[in-house]
Amino acid sequence: MAKLSILSNEVRVSDGLYSLNDLHKASGSKNNHRPSLFVRTEQTKELIEEITQSTDMCLAIKTRKGGSNPGTWVCKELVYAYAMWISPKFHLYVIRAFDQMVSQPQPKQLSSTTDRKALNICVRSLANARSHNNEPADYASVWKMVNGYLGVAHIEEATVDQVEKGIEFIQQAIEGEYIGRNDQKLIEDDRVGQLEKRIAVLELTQSRLESELSFIHNHAAKLSDELNEKVYPALKALNPKVFATVRERMFIIHNHSKPAIVDGWKNQSALEIH
């Protein structure tokens, strides 16, 4: 995460909250600008209440006494409010500091083992396609080719975007392997090769779909809770027919993306392939 710096003073961030004490220091540390005075104003209390009610933010403000990070810690909205409370000039400094932080180049996100799962499947498929006459598959050579294409010394240095490019690269190579088979023996084995390719693509699709279904299920559960609490009562009173339709569709989305349903779909897919 890029650092926030105001007038050459770094503002620490902890659990997504900014140190109001660091902001006080950056503003000149005047006694009448102490964070405790700002927090006690009626306008600040109303703003905190509004932030808490209008967002899913767990905390808008946190006060820590003792420990490694003592002081008052607040969300970004309260940082802006505090800066405006001090002066328009300091408020402008804070706005520009946030703009500069956002415009700074963000560090590239390195891929994880999970991110590279689909690429591993594709590499195995290509190595198996290139092994002839029961010779062992040369996975190392394929990985060397992939790393060279992506410009990394090892696949663990690849970013998420590079892994996606690697998958496309290997899939094209797999296509080339089967198109380029000319001798009779390879033609006879082409059905096996096509099945390997189909399995590789299915496993890749399954991995991505499983991840997307999990994402949908989690958000559908949260949305259902919010609808039950806020939207459904009003909608039911306003238009019972529309209410029934909306609730039925949310039920279908939530239930058809359950992990148990996904596992059943995976097992059925495996039976159909074999």
Using alpha carbons, list the distances in angstroms from residue 55 to 48, 75, 210, 227, 269: 11, 12, 29, 15, 41
What is the value of pTM for the model shown?
0.42
User: What is the signed CA dihedral for 101, 105, 106, 112, rounded to 10 degrees?
Assistant: 180
Asked if residue 103 lies in contact with residue 4, where contact means CB atoms within 8 angstroms, the answer is no
pLDDT at 79: 95
Over the stretch 15-68, which tens digit does the pLDDT of each residue have?
889 999 999 999 999 999 999 999 999 999 999 988 888 765 567 899 988 777
Over the stretch 204-229, which tens digit does the pLDDT of each residue have?
667 667 777 777 777 677 766 666 66
Query: Does pLDDT of 107 surpass 50?
Result: yes
Mean pLDDT, range 4-25, rounded to an integer:
91
- Strand ranges for 51-157 from DSSP E: 61-64, 71-74
Asked if residue 61 lies in contact with residue 74, where contact means CB atoms within 8 angstroms, the answer is yes
Token reading at 232: 């459904």
Mean pLDDT, range 266-272, rounded to an integer:
55
Q: Which phi and psi angles does 65 have, rounded to 5°?
A: -110, 115
Q: Which phi and psi angles does 125 have, rounded to 5°?
A: -65, -40
Over the stretch 165-206, which tens digit does the pLDDT of each residue have?
889 888 888 776 554 444 444 445 556 666 666 676 676 667
User: How far apart, in whole angstroms, are the C-alpha atoms of residue 47 and residue 42?
Assistant: 9
Mean pLDDT, range 129-152, rounded to an integer:
82
Winning range, highest mean pLDDT, from 73-82, 122-131, 181-190, 246-255: 73-82
Residue corresponding to tokens 């405790």: 36
Asked if residue 118 lies in contact with residue 160, where contact means CB atoms within 8 angstroms, the answer is no
Query: Does pLDDT of 72 surpass 60?
Result: yes
pLDDT at 57: 55
Burial of 140 by CB count in 10 Å (0-12 exposed, 13-18 middle, 19+ buried)?
exposed
Query: Does pLDDT of 233 surpass 80?
Result: no
